[in-house]
């Protein structure tokens, strides 16, 4: 199965392979089985439940995609912090909840910076 054609990376401008079909050749896959387009510069697109949807998310408006990811992370962080404060969870995949929240916050900051960069470049 061939993946849909991909637009160039919004961060480094490199062309993306249009026949990328698996994790090793340009897709990241998370522990829930979701996929994301993965550029050699380190940029990772939004995670989606199929390769086709990950490609579509990569190809949409860069700023909109980044805003969606930042909003999703913001909601996830709020829920995790509430559960932590209520004593409902102590770890996620064996990682202490405090450390997991720190990693997610750092990722959120990185996405916010990427969003600002994309807006400054006029990637709409």
Q: Is the pLDDT of residue 22 over 50?
A: no
What is the rounded average pLDDT for all residues in the chain?
Answer: 76
Q: Is the pLDDT of residue 44 over 60?
A: yes
User: Could you tell me the residue ranges of all domains in the chain?
Assistant: 1-60, 62-121
Q: Is the pLDDT of residue 26 over 60?
A: no
Q: Which residues of 23-45 are buried (b: 16+ CB within 10 A; e: fewer)?
A: eeebbebeeeeebbbbbeeebbb
- For residue range 66-100, list pLDDT tens digits in order: 777 788 888 888 888 998 899 998 888 788 888 88
pTM: 0.47
Q: What is the dihedral of CA 60, 62, 65, 71, to 10 degrees?
A: -160
The whole-number pLDDT of residue 27 equals 58
For the chain, what percent of residues have pLDDT higher than 90?
A: 3
Task: Looking at the chain, list the stretches that DSSP marks H as alpha helix, in order from N- to C-terminal side.
Answer: 51-59, 62-85, 97-121
What would the mean pLDDT of 27-55 be, rounded to a whole number? 76
The whole-number pLDDT of residue 16 equals 72
- For residue range 52-72, list pLDDT tens digits in order: 888 888 888 666 767 777 888
């Amino acid at each position: 199965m061939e993946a849909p054609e991909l637009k160039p990376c919004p961060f480094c401008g490199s062309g993306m392979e249009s026949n990328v079909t698996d994790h090793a050749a340009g897709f990241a896959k998370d522990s829930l089985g979701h996929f994301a387009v993965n550029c050699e510069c380190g940029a990772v697109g939004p995670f989606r439940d199929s390769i086709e949807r990950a490609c579509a998310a990569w190809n949409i408006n860069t700023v909109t995609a980044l805003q969606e990811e930042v909003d999703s992370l913001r909601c996830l962080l709020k829920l995790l912090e509430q559960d932590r404060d209520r004593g409902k969870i102590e770890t996620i995949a064996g990682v202490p909840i405090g450390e997991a929240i720190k990693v997610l916050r750092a990722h959120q900051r990185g996405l916010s910076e990427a969003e600002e960069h994309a807006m400054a470049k006029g990637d709409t």
